[in-house]
Chains A and B, each alone.
Chain A
Amino acid sequence: MNLAEGVQVVSFSLLSLMMLGSALGVVLVSNIVYSAFLLGGVFISMAGLYLLLNADFVATAQVLIYVGAVNVLILFAIMLVNKRQDFAPVPRAWIRRAATGLVCVGLFLLLATMVVVTPWAVSTQVAAGNSAIVAIGKHFFNDFLLPFELASVLLLMALIGAVILARRELIPEQPTAPAQPPALMLPERPRELVSAGASRSAQK
């Protein structure tokens, strides 16, 4: 094993550990903001795995789209809502958890068997490397034209839908408020000490 292979093995194991760890964190951590940030970790490590497979373009696109757009939008949504409510404790919660765990383990076993049993047609061609963009572009406009265009139409539909949702003309009629006394005060919600470190306050 030479230097390059060693680096590859080490980075593969590090990336897999990172990915599995943060993926488990996304599901298991109860703080939703942590989950969202960990999701970014999952995407980044996935980009690293693509990079190890010599798929530069896919890795870069993964960072741009999933980390830079999808994850930021998820965070945006979470932070704009910023609603922290404690769930009411459910009696015998362990039954639900055990059932979920069972289903997840079953699904994992199923998929793992599928991965092991399927005879994968592993390509023996040398990776395209830097000319990959050209190859991808040719595929997009030749044999994959229909799926490519369908995906664009789908995205366009989603875009227009979002615009229509955001520009709802149905603004409810403002009840004509009685003339307010001219108070030199800004209307402000009572400040609630919330969010980030609420769980830590118990320790202090």
Chain B
Amino acid sequence: MNSGIDVQEIFVRSLVDLGLPPGAAKAIWMPLPMLLMIIGATVGVLVTVWLERKISAAAQQRIGPEYIGPLGVLAPVADGLKLIFKEDVVPARSDPFLFTLGPVIVVIPVFLSYMIVPFGQNLVVTNVGMGVFLWIALSSVAPIGLLMSGYASNNKYSLLGGLRAAAQSISYEIPLALSVLAIAMMSNSLSTVDIVNQQSGYGVLGWNVWRQPVGFIIFWIAALAECERIPFDLPEAEEELVAGYQTEYSGMKFALFYLGAYVNLVLSALLVAVLYLGGWEFPIPLDIVANWLGVSEANPIFQIVTASLGITMTLLKAYFLVFLAILMRWTVPRVRIDQLLDLGWKFLLPISLVNLLLTAGLKLAFPAAFGG
């Protein structure tokens, strides 16, 4: 197992060679991956919005955005610019302070969660030991912001939307956490890097999706519900609630909700890729490829190729899942709120408990295959 490129170490060492003290070099390094991650997440959102427009157009036999840039790739940028220049309306008799704070609280945890998404052995903002558990904890903060904006809008549709969002988020967090727990049990760790490493070695056959097919489906359903995507977009169901908690929002505050929703979707897809589809692993183990080509694994060019292939693989897997989510949005009808809660509590929760129990049993019975 090669350790891959350590950009941080190279950067810090070269700054120290320039005559800076090591502490200062590290302090200069620290904001760089964070900034890169924020920019990456935002660009990912732009790509996702463009995909959503194009795929929805294809699903409805339209062309979709065409003239804004080649193939309409600049359409999401135009959307963003429009939202920036729109008037920022705070409705009368609302609570302006909570009204402003709501979208902020929704967006910050989502961006914060990006720090645990690995793109390679060392290509991660921070490899914290809590890993996926941190993500689950952070994603549980968002309902507070939703409740806050629903309440502060002083509008019954907003309040209903906020309450629905919180109820949905709480109910689907439990199956989500239980299916992550099954993965953690197999990997003996919560760290995302360790989880990917545990799946490596056998190429596509070693990915968790074969060992945890039920967990994969539960996780994907629960993640879609957490992102409030159709078929689970009850909090903003247009036909019932105007736009749910977003009803009164416009301009930049609405843009924050919009951004948060899409960042969350990409984040969930990335985490499905990391937890179940082998993260940055290529379908064929790369050391075998290196043997075929007769290149040593320590070869710098090979390492650069490996690292960029890792990033590409993670993004490809994640965007495949994003594609599925978008396709689902334009093909599947919305469930009712009672069906949604029934599905969460009466179906997914027992199934995920059984899945956990089975995983524990299999781990005891076949420690070699299920991470002893």
One of A57, A68, A204 near B173 (C-beta < 8 A): A68
A71 to chain B, nearest CB (A): 6
Interface members, chain A 33-81 (any B CB < 8 Å):
33, 37, 40, 44, 56-57, 60-61, 63-64, 67-69, 71-73, 75-76, 79-80
Selected interface stretch from B11-19, B137-145, B351-359: B137-145
Q: B143 near A60 (CB under 8 angstroms)?
A: no
Q: Is the CB of A80 within 8 A of B141?
A: no
Cβ A75 vs Cβ B166 within 8 A: yes
Which residues of B are found within 8 Å of A33, using beta-carbon distances? 98, 151
Q: Which residue in chain A gives the minimum CB-CB distance to B102? A: A37
Q: In the complex the two chains form, is B128's CB within 8 Å of A64's CB?
A: no
Q: How far is the CA of A68 from the CA of B177 in the complex (A)?
A: 13
B129 touches A196 (CB 8 A): no
Complex Cα spacing A76 to B171, Å: 14
A2 to B24, CA, bound (A): 10
CB of B148 within 8 A of CB of A79, answer no
Q: List the B side residues contacting A40 at CB < 8 Å.
A: 144
Tell me the dominant secondary structure on chain B's binding face. helix
A56: which B residues are within 8 A, CB to CB?
Answer: 128-130
What A residues does B166 contact at CB under 8 A?
72, 75-76
The answer to whether B151 touches A196, judged by C-beta atoms less than 8 angstroms apart, is: yes
- Neighbouring B residues of A68 by C-beta, 8 Å: 137, 140-141, 143, 170, 173
B-contacting residues, A156-204, CB 8 Å = 193, 195-198, 200-201, 204
Inter-chain contacts of A131 with B (CB < 8 A): 129
In the bound assembly, the distance between CA atoms of A195 and B137 in angstroms comes to 30
Q: Distance (Å) between the CB of B135 and the closest chain A CB?
A: 10
Q: Which residues from A are CB-within-8-Å of B144?
A: 37, 40, 67, 71-72, 75
Q: How many A-B residue pairs have CB under 8 A?
A: 92
List B contacts of A76 (CB < 8 A).
147, 163, 166-167
How many angstroms between the C-alpha atoms of A196 and B163 in the bound complex? 15
Q: Which residues of B contact A195 (CB under 8 A)?
A: 151, 154
Q: Are A2 and B23 in contact (CB under 8 A)?
A: yes
- Whole-angstrom distance between the alpha carbons of A196 and B99 in the complex? 10
Residue of B nearest to A3 (CB): B23
Interface residues of A in 68-127 (CB under 8 A from B): 68-69, 71-73, 75-76, 79-80, 82
Residues 114-161 of B contacting A (Cβ, < 8 Å): 128-130, 133-134, 136-138, 140-141, 143-144, 147-148, 150-154, 159
Alpha-carbon gap, A75 to B143, bound state (A): 10
Decide if B151 touches A67 in the complex (CB within 8 Å).
no
Tell me if B98 and A196 are in contact (CB < 8 A).
yes
Residues of B within 8 A of A37 (CB): 98, 144, 148
A71 to B23, CA, bound (A): 39
Chain B, Cβ-Cβ closest to A57: B130
Q: In the docked arrangement, what's the CA distance between A111 and B93, Å?
A: 43
Q: Complex: how many Å from CA A44 to CA B134?
A: 13
Residue of B nearest to A56 (CB): B130
> A13 near B: Cβ within 8 Å?
no
| Contact assessment for B93 and A193 in the assembled complex, using a CB-CB cutoff below 8 Å | yes
Give me 20 A-to-B residue pairs in the complex whose CB atoms sit less than 8 angstroms apart, sorted by A's number: A40-B144, A56-B129, A57-B130, A61-B137, A68-B170, A69-B140, A69-B170, A72-B147, A75-B144, A75-B166, A76-B163, A79-B147, A79-B162, A130-B129, A131-B129, A196-B94, A196-B95, A196-B153, A197-B95, A197-B154
Q: Ordered nearest first, which 7 A-B pairs have the shortest CB separation? A: A68-B140, A130-B129, A196-B95, A64-B137, A63-B137, A60-B137, A196-B154
